[in-house]
Copies of this chain bind each other. A is one copy, B any other.
Amino acid sequence: MSSVATETRVLTGREAFRAGIREEMLRDERVLVLGETVRSGGAAGVVAGLFDEFGPRRVIECPVSENGIFGAALGLALAGFRPVVEIYSADFLLAVANEVMNDMAKWQVQHGRPDEPLPIVIRGCMAATEGLGPEHSQSMEPFFLHAPGLELLTPSTPATAYAAMRAALAATVPTLVFEHRKVYELSGPVEGGVIGERVTSGADVTVVAWGWMRHEAAHAAERLAADGVGVDLLDPVRIRPLDLDPVIASVQRTGALIVVEEAFVTGNVGAEILARVAEALPGHPLRLRRIAMPDVIHPYDARLERAILPTADHVVAGIRTLLGD
């Protein structure tokens, strides 16, 4: 195996996440992987092979003890290591919400060292595929949006997966990488991803979407382009801190914004984006809207679940409604 990134790699999303971790493990032996079943590749195979390559002192198989694991990650980080902690499914992060948002996020500030890095990467598979039920399907970024002191990344493609994992490993604050299960299965070039991408340009409506929703929005944009509707589609990749400038600049041109988000609508990230845009452009006759999951937990039956997940159809319809108003 070679540690040199070539310019032409085409990988799946799963492999891209892995490449980001593995390259940093090669570069810096303080990087450790911790979690459940990580010895055998972890819940979704992202860390497959790393135990064989790096051994039990770098890839640490843990009991199903989320609080113990996350506490240990904090200890390891304060002791000078750089833990990459896997959560078996991102939904389970609620079981360590206290460790993540009360302990890790606040630690350096409340101990008087706001500039001291606390390099903890928290990662795991997230969001809906088909019928995994409401404890293995939720989009978790809104639950962690409110805590100062964290970075949140929600990549959408192999390239942004790789870029996001590298950004997380370079971050100085505890950083969550939300790995969309559907993104694992995508294939594409790995290099060239950036934190914040303009997917399509257009003058009629601004659309913000990340994770899998970027692809639903891109399909919608393609369909609308055929009808002469131009969509300015932005994928921020990083949700916190969110670079709002391109969004606001775009809305200033289009006057219309749709945030497409897989999470439940109430209290989602889109609410924050709409609020920020509205605050930035007072007195403008804006058209702002969210396309999101209704406030309904995922049914186990995939047929029923499909009825509530946002899709390109919803985006097309939402944009038409917004522009036709």
Contacts and interface: CB of A to CB of B under 8 A. Distances in A.
Interface of A: 91-92, 94-95, 97-98, 101-102, 105-106, 109-110, 133-135, 142-143, 145-149, 240, 263-264, 266-272, 274-276, 278-279, 282-290, 295-297, 300, 322, 325
A143 B101 CA distance: 10
Contact of A146 (B110, B134, B264): B264
Contact of A285 (B102, B285, B297): B285
Contacts of A276: 271
Contacts of A274: 271, 274-275, 278-279
Given A94-B102, A143-B146, A145-B266, A279 B283 contact: no
Given A109-B297, A110-B133, A322-B282, A266 B146 contact: yes
Contact of A278 (B97, B146, B148, B286): B286
A146 to B, nearest CB: 4
B106 A135 contact: yes
Contacts of A289: 279, 282
A169 to B, nearest CB: 23
Contacts of A92: 98
Q: How many identical chains are in the complex?
A: 2
Given A109-B297, A240-B266, A282-B287, 7 more contacts: A94-B97, A101-B143, A146-B264, A148-B297, A267-B272, A271-B272, A282-B322
Nearest to A293: B148
Contact of A288 (B135, B263, B267, B278): B278
Contacts of A145: 266-267
B148 A264 contact: yes
Contacts of A279: 274, 288-290
Of the listed residues A148, A284, A290, the one surrounded by the most CB atoms of chain B closer than 10 A to its CB is A148
Given A98-B97, A271-B274, A325 B133 contact: no
Given A143-B143, A146-B143, A266-B145, A275 B296 contact: no
A270 B274 CA distance: 11
A278 B95 CA distance: 34
Given A133-B110, A266-B146, A268-B146, A288 B282 contact: yes
Contacts of A142: 146, 267
Of the listed residues A102, A135, A148, A267, the one surrounded by the most CB atoms of chain B closer than 10 A to its CB is A267
